Amino acid sequence: MQAAAGQADVLARSEPIAKLVADPATPDALRARLKLVVEARAFAVRELGLPDGRSFRKYADLGRPYAVWNVVAAPEFSVTPRRWCYPVAGCVAYRGYFDEGRAVGTARRLARHGDDVTVGGVATYSTLGHLPDPVFNTMLGWRETRLVGTIFHELAHERLYVPGDSEFNEAFASVVEQEGVRLWLQAGGRDGEFEAYRAALARETEFAALLRATRERLRRLYASGVPEPQLWADKQREFGQLKFEYALLRARWGGYSGYDAWFARTLNNAHLAAVATYHDCVPGLHRELEAAGSLGAFYARAEELASLSVEERRAAVCESDPATVQGRRSAPVSGRST
């Protein structure tokens, strides 16, 4: 009921972008960003082969900083997230709310039952083309590559979505996003900006590998059979080690502080459980794109993978141990975000 009411409110607030662009009363800054959305959407359809449906034809000012808030939870001694199942979307590793207070209430209830939990704001989401997804006010303050990349990402979900396999779905959309941004910048003759984008992706890859390595060590710890008091102490030690290793990574980046906010809280299993959803399958799907040589061939290969069982698909492209990935990819392939 809360999801239905929240979605109804989104639709009620949505206005056609074309109307807003033509309206003299529309602020110039808003008009410029909406024009960028129109250009990015057209590029996605024309150059990336993404669906020309109803999404991103409207704009919705929600009057709040996030579109939804997601709750992620994992048991106290597990990095495997709890999952919730929904119509159409299948089973996913989070529970979404249009109201922050309700999300926090759910997180507190799960915490009282012993789970590690986290609540995170999400600036946009996809209904997979079932509804006319708008561009939200929560997105328009982003830098250009993030805004257009998100449009590519969400339209990729409409191109291919496997119910119940969030890891594959998010990785597929991320690879399409990154290739789309590369082509977008290339088309504009903006090679210098692409190098900066590559550098940001390289940092993200290293950061994700750091989190995944910690998650793998904790997974082994929780399976070791040691008594719970020792598990708790060793768990805290691992999170301390993670912060130390991040400090070393930050120094190697020349003091880049873009991930500092991630550590400005008490870390727990839920923070690491969410990493798998967005990163475990990305390196394998990048290799599939490299082998395919074009987005069209990559889509065909992804559809073949989608026809497999979850176990077969994970074995083919998803890697849970970051040690198998580190060294193989520290930057996006040039033949191709975050």
Is the residue at 61 inside a domain?
Answer: yes
Buried b (16+ CB within 10 A) or exposed e, 87-101: eebeebbbbbbbeee
Give the chain's count of helices (H) and strands (E): 12, 8
CB 197 within 8 A of CB 185: yes
> In the numeric block, which tokens belong to residue 330?
């520290």
Is residue 51 domain-resident?
Answer: yes
What's the pLDDT score for residue 47?
98
- Assess if residue 37 is contained within a domain: yes
337 lies in a domain? Answer: no
Question: For each of the chain's 338 residues, which pLDDT tens digit applies?
Answer: 888 999 999 999 999 999 999 999 999 999 999 999 999 999 999 999 999 999 999 999 999 999 999 999 999 999 999 999 887 777 888 999 999 999 999 999 999 999 999 999 999 999 999 999 999 999 999 999 999 999 999 999 999 999 888 889 999 999 999 999 999 999 999 988 989 999 999 999 899 899 999 999 999 999 999 999 999 999 999 999 999 999 999 999 999 999 999 999 999 999 998 776 678 899 899 999 999 999 999 999 999 999 999 999 999 998 655 444 333 333 232 233 32
How far apart CA 139 and CA 269 sit, in angstroms, is 28
Which residues lie closer than 8 Å to 45 by C-beta, 6 or more apart? Answer: 51, 52
Domain count, the chain: 1
**Would 214 be classed as within a structural domain?**
yes
- Distance, CA of 334 to CA of 198 (rounded, Å): 9
Kindly state whether residue 338 falls inside one of the protein's structural domains: no
CA distance 277 to 165: 9
Query: Residue 91 — φ and ψ, nearest 5°?
Result: -95, 130
**Beta-bridge partner residues of 60:** 14, 136
Contact present, 184 and 43 (Cβ < 8 Å): yes
Q: Identify the domain containing residue 229 by its residue range.
A: 2-324
286-306 per-residue burial string, b: 16 or more CB within 10 A, e: under 16: bebbeebeebeebbebbeebe
Residue type for 169, please? N
**Sequence letter at residue 253:** W
Residue 335 domain-assigned (yes or no): no
Q: Considering the domain boundaries, does residue 230 fall inside one? A: yes
Backbone angles phi, psi at 119, to 5 degrees: -120, 125
